[in-house]
Amino acid sequence: MNLFADAFAWLASPEHHTGSDAIAVRLGEHLLYSAIAVLISAAIAVPIGYFIGHTRRGKQIAVAFSGAARALPSLGLLTLLTLFVGIGQAPMAATIVFVVLGVPSVLAGAYAGIEAVDEHVVDAARAMGMTEWQILWRVEAPIGLPLLIGGLRSATLQIVSTAVLAAYVGLGGLGTYILRGINLNDYTQMLGGALVIVALALVLDAAFSLTVWLAESTTRHRPGNAAKPASVSQTHPQEGTS
């Protein structure tokens, strides 16, 4: 308990809230690296996941890729890439590592969300004359949004926790306190940095949980999202026979 008390005292100390090594500065660096990696992961994985979910093709390849990417040791990959591209390109190496870590979760959320859409709803949309592109963006994507957000949530939390490694190649972030604490045997600083990372993860998790809840509520109450195509599919044959 004394160690936790010392860690909270370390966090509250004014000297850790000013200058280039301030907690707010390190937090901003950590969030920047994480946000860039999540955005790139989404830009790569969402279109591929939507294609897989809509066409029902390539799922086995996606699952194999996701498993392989998750099995890669992050620290080893970061070290290898940094040595390969050079210390001057360490930000690029770190971003690649974080993206590799984030893509599988976003990919799974994207194609799972599209696959979860009732086939009768999709068939009804086709019966209405909607194109495949319209079906994807106006029917499948809105219904599958909660699962996509869940994938983004998982990827974000994984990246935030792994972004500690940015300090390993001199890029700063909250991992700076942990790495410095290890080198100096300063357990108070190590625990203080870890507490900030845990707090950040909890805040982000709560924000994503709220976003998922709002997306699910919108999907449930979306007018005509599922009910309207179904009703049209039921009345369409009658219109053709009259």
Q: Detail the DSSP E strand segments found in the chain.
A: none
Domain span at residue 220 reads 2-9+23-234
Amino acid in position 105: S
Average pLDDT estimate for 134-150: 92
How many domains are there within the chain?
1
On the question of pLDDT at 203 being above 50, the answer is: yes
Structural element, H or E, at residue 27: helix 23-55
Q: How far is CA 63 from CA 71, 109, 153, 204, 231, in A?
A: 12, 12, 19, 26, 36
Provide the token pair at 56.
């029902």
The predicted structure's pLDDT at residue 106: 95
Average pLDDT estimate for 166-178: 92
Provide the token pair at 233.
């599919």
Per-residue burial over 130-150, b = 16 or more CB atoms within 10 Å of its CB, e = otherwise = beeeebbeebbbbbbbbbbbb
96 vs 99: CA distance, rounded Å:
5
Provide the token pair at 16.
């850790």
Residue 242 lies in a domain: no
Residue 205 lies in a domain: yes
On the question of pLDDT at 216 being above 90, the answer is: no
Residue 14 lies in a domain: no
Q: What is the pTM of this model?
A: 0.85
Average pLDDT estimate for 166-189: 93
Which pLDDT band, with edges at 50, 70 and 90, does 108 fall under?
very high
120 vs 140: CA distance, rounded Å:
12
On the question of pLDDT at 223 being above 60, the answer is: no
The predicted structure's pLDDT at residue 1: 64
Which pLDDT band, with edges at 50, 70 and 90, does 88 fall under?
confident
On the question of pLDDT at 231 being above 70, the answer is: no
Query: Which CATH number belongs to the domain containing residue 170 in this structure?
Result: 1.10.3720.10
Residue 166 lies in a domain: yes
Residue 240 lies in a domain: no
The predicted structure's pLDDT at residue 233: 35
Average pLDDT estimate for 80-97: 87
Place of tokens 């990827």: 155
Mean of all residue pLDDT scores within the chain:
87
156 vs 145: CA distance, rounded Å:
16
Q: How far is CA 168 from CA 15, 18, 37, 96, 140, in A?
A: 23, 23, 17, 15, 42
Percent of the chain surpassing pLDDT 70:
90
